[in-house]
Structure 1
Amino acid sequence: MPRSPAEPSPQPRSQLTPEDWIRAARNLLVSRSVDAVRVEVLAKEMSVTRGSFYWHFKDRDDLLHRMLMAWRDEATEQIIYRFERRGLPPRELIRDLLSLPFRGEAAQEAASTELAIRAWARRDERVRQILDEVDAKRLSYIAQCFSALGFGIAEARGRAFALYSYELSESLLANQGTAAQKEERKALMERLLLAPA
């Protein structure tokens, strides 16, 4: 039966991309756990059939692996690239790194994802290896920033570890202290980390 001109035609459902599935899986990982990241749960949350999933992924393990790789690239490679592209002097770069945990909603989302991945890594050796690589890459990058300020290798590594530990702690303890107290902690860390050896 032909449709009358006044009657709107049905809109085709937009195709889900692998990134849509990965985003939904990451949300489940954060809100529940890796055990909740299952094809049937995702399909129900996204109001699609399970068959839609298999257009993009071989199986659940493929999704989990690609979600982990996407996180690794976003949380490390892309951040380092953005920092490098800005061309800040090393001292400003360290100050900028110290402010990462306080960058609003994006920082909170990144911290929640990271904490969920760290919890997952305690149970899965493959995830632990990726997380160890991410930690090593971040620490190496931060140590290079301190080396550029003239600190020796051991001193640069130690200060990088202190800065990185501080960032992780601020993520873990995000609800501790007022905004003014958080600013005081950041200022203290900046003074300690940038003080001459």
Structure 2
Amino acid sequence: MSATASKSAGSRGPLSRDDWVAAATHVLAQKSIDAVRVDALSRQLNVTRGSFYWHFRSRTELLDAILTAWRNAATEQVIDRFERRRTSPEEQIRDLLSLPFRGPSARRAADTELAIRAWARRDAMARKVVDEVDATRLSYIAQCFTALGLELAEARLRAFTLYGYEVAESLLAAQGSDRQKRERRAFMEWILLNTPAGRAGGAD
């Protein structure tokens, strides 16, 4: 048996590690973490288990790779893209508010994230990564608000409000028409960018 099994007919070459991670992530998003099994993935990809074990020592290593890929794509790469654009803090905040509404890609990203959060409710490895991702995102959003001249305590409060809104839009994606969603987004933008500093209070 060859070290790397071939892809199914019509594909372009042997499966890579990224192919396995992408396939496993899709199954996770559409079903659950329990459905991410080596045998089932091998059948879906029309390869032998040998292809999997060429890239991964175990299912646990695959699960860790799923989490790493999600963290990189959904957090670190997004922040890096925002930073390279060098837009104003106000525009960065508006862009952050728009993330849940960026078409099919946003819906796929939300499906994956919700599945990972469900996984994290009963798995320590996933919980650790989700907590790290949340902390990184909140820290970045707070930096956007401090760039507007807000004190750190209030920047953190507004960051939590913005982030909670984004998570809620993912959880409640079926609620409201497109117009209502635009109105909610405009309302959040008004609250976050126009409410006088110090109104919320709070401490470090």
TM-score for the superposition, normalised by structure 1 = 0.93
Query: Equivalents in 1 of 2:29, 2:11: separation in Å?
Result: 31
Where does residue 4 of structure 2 map in the other structure?
none
Q: Which runs of 4+ in 1 moved over 2 A?
A: 10-13
RMSD: 1.3
Where does residue 19 of structure 1 map in the other structure?
18
Where does residue 29 of structure 1 map in the other structure?
28
Query: Which runs of 5 or more residues in structure 2 are unaligned?
Result: 1-8, 198-204
Per-residue CA distance 1:117-163 (angstroms, 9 max, x = gap): 00000010111111000000000000000000011111000000000
Q: Secondary structure at the match of 1:55?
A: helix
1:91 counterpart letter in structure 2: E
Larger mean Cα displacement after TM superposition, 156-165 or 45-54: 45-54
Q: Secondary structure at the match of 1:19?
A: helix
Q: 1:45 to 1:191 in 2, by over 3 A?
A: same
Where does residue 135 of structure 1 map in the other structure?
134
2:131 counterpart letter in structure 1: D
1:185 counterpart letter in structure 2: R
1:53-64 maps to which residues of 2 (within 5 A)?
Answer: 53-64=52-63
Query: Equivalents in 2 of 1:149, 1:113: separation in Å?
Result: 32
Query: Equivalents in 1 of 2:109, 2:11: separation in Å?
Result: 33
Q: Secondary structure at the match of 1:45?
A: helix
Q: How many residues align?
A: 188
TM-score for the superposition, normalised by structure 2 = 0.90
Per-residue CA distance 1:24-73 (angstroms, 9 max, x = gap): 10011111111111100000011111111111110100100011101011
Where does residue 172 of structure 2 map in the other structure?
173
Q: 1:11 to 1:72 in 2, by over 3 A?
A: closer
Q: 1:160 to 1:15 in 2, by over 3 A?
A: same
Per-residue CA distance 1:55-98 (angstroms, 9 max, x = gap): 11101001000111010111110000000000010001100100
Q: 1:11 to 1:76 in 2, by over 3 A?
A: closer
2:168 counterpart letter in structure 1: S
Q: Secondary structure at the match of 2:55?
A: coil
Q: Secondary structure at the match of 1:120?
A: helix
Q: 1:187 to 1:13 in 2, by over 3 A?
A: closer
Quote the offset at 1:13 in angstroms.
Answer: 6.1
1:105 counterpart letter in structure 2: P
* Larger-gyration structure (1/2): 1
Q: Secondary structure at the match of 1:48?
A: coil
Query: Equivalents in 2 of 1:18, 1:83: separation in Å?
Result: 28
Quote the offset at 1:11 in angstroms.
Answer: 8.0
Query: Which runs of 5 or more residues in structure 1 are unaligned?
Result: 1-9
Q: Secondary structure at the match of 2:122?
A: coil
Among all aligned residue pairs of Structure 1 and Structure 2, give the percentage whose two residues are the same amino acid: 62
1:179-194 maps to which residues of 2 (within 5 A)?
Answer: 179-194=178-193
Where does residue 102 of structure 1 map in the other structure?
101
Quote the offset at 1:12 in angstroms.
Answer: 8.7
